[in-house]
Amino acid sequence: MTTTAVSAGLKLGVVGKGGVGKTTVAGLLARSYSDLGRRVVAIDTDSNPNLGLSLGLSLSDTEAVPVLPRAALVGSGGGPSADALVSDYGRPTPAGPTLLSAIRVSEAAAGCTCSGHATVRSLLAEALADVDVTLVDMEAGLEHLSRSGGTLAYADVLLVVCEPTRKSILTAIRTAALAEELGIPHVLAVGNKSRSQQDAEFFASALSAEGIELSGVLPYDHRVAEADRAGSVDLTPVSNQVQAALQDILAAVENTAGAPRE
Ligand SMILES: Nc1ncnc2c1ncn2[C@@H]1O[C@H](COP(=O)(O)OP(=O)(O)OP(=O)(O)O)[C@@H](O)[C@H]1O
Ligand SMILES: [Mg+2]
């Protein structure tokens, strides 16, 4: 992958129904941008974080990534700068991106995670020096869009990952509606775990009926599933089909993020 241009200071949120492949897709995209020579910050907002595994870290190294302070409202009233948070809490990964862990629930009954989401929201509101792409792997569901202010309110593009099921498309439709209310400029769908031409056609027709652009379709890849079972994502080159889908997604993001607000 050598030719795709990348918008400066791009902020992407990866969202969707539980288990559709958000973390897998976020890891592959973050790695693709790094392979293009871009400086990437990948933020894990799952309360049960595992994006580190998708970026080639071991489980113990993933668990050792320090969690961002809760309610560290970047840039406001003496709060830390976004760059200071990245340099203090970010950790390098074998895939290239710098990983931030925003939310981890390690104690029972420790309260809600809203303040961790507030940190991410304020981090996205600031421009990070020397960072080309900030990519957020979001927890499942829609709460991050309804939570006060919306965790991803400052994202340029939401990538809503779908699998070939009606329920995941329904989540995409609800996501697009909430994103519009929040003023997030663009929503693109990513089809994942496609096993057949029918699956690819299902993504295209179900999403276009709702006016949601399909940016690319990743095949169901047994190596992805096997790497997951082995506890880490294999960092050897991905299949040609996966590579082609990633290139499609990067090109669609580039076209979209460069376009005027819809
Ligand atoms: N393209 C693919 N081919 C095969 N397996 C896949 C693919 N994408 C994801 N998976 C598998 O699907 C499962 C869920 O993937 P992942 O953890 O990325 O989903 P998620 O949306 O982040 O889940 P959660 O909602 O729990 O955060 C994992 O076992 C993963 O290996
Ligand atoms: Mg996940």
253 CA from centroid of ligand 1 (Å): 21
What SS3 class is residue 87? helix
Q: Measured from the CB, is residue 193 less than 6 Å from ligand 1?
A: yes
Q: Measured from the CB, is residue 17 less than 6 Å from ligand 1?
A: no
Structure tokens at 3: 């030719």
Structure tokens at 13: 């949120």
Nearest protein CA to atom 30 of ligand 1, as residue: 225
Residue 161 has pLDDT above 90, yes or no: yes
Q: Measured from the CB, is residue 27 less than 6 Å from ligand 1?
A: no
pLDDT tens readout for residues 55-85: 999 888 998 999 887 666 666 666 778 888 8
Confidence grade of residue 262 (pLDDT, cut at 50, 70, 90): very low
Sheet containing 10-16, strands listed edge to edge, beginning at the edge strand earlier in sequence: 91-92, 98-101, 40-44, 133-137, 10-16, 157-162, 186-194, 213-219
162 alpha-carbon distance from chain centroid: 13
- Output the CATH code of domain 10-257: 3.40.50.300
Rounded to an integer, the average pLDDT of 128-157 is: 82
| Ligand in nearest proximity to the CA of 17 | 1
**Cα gap 29→233, rounded to integer Å:** 13
**Cα gap 117→86, rounded to integer Å:** 16
45 CA from centroid of ligand 2 (Å): 9
Q: What is the pLDDT of residue 146?
A: 66
Confidence grade of residue 148 (pLDDT, cut at 50, 70, 90): low
**Cα gap 226→109, rounded to integer Å:** 34
Q: What is the pTM of this model?
A: 0.90
Residue 176 has pLDDT above 70, yes or no: yes
Q: What is the pLDDT of residue 59?
A: 86
Q: What is the pLDDT of residue 260?
A: 46
When the pLDDT of each residue in the chain is averaged and rounded to a whole number, the result is 85
Strand intervals (E) in 66-168: 91-92, 98-101, 133-137, 157-162
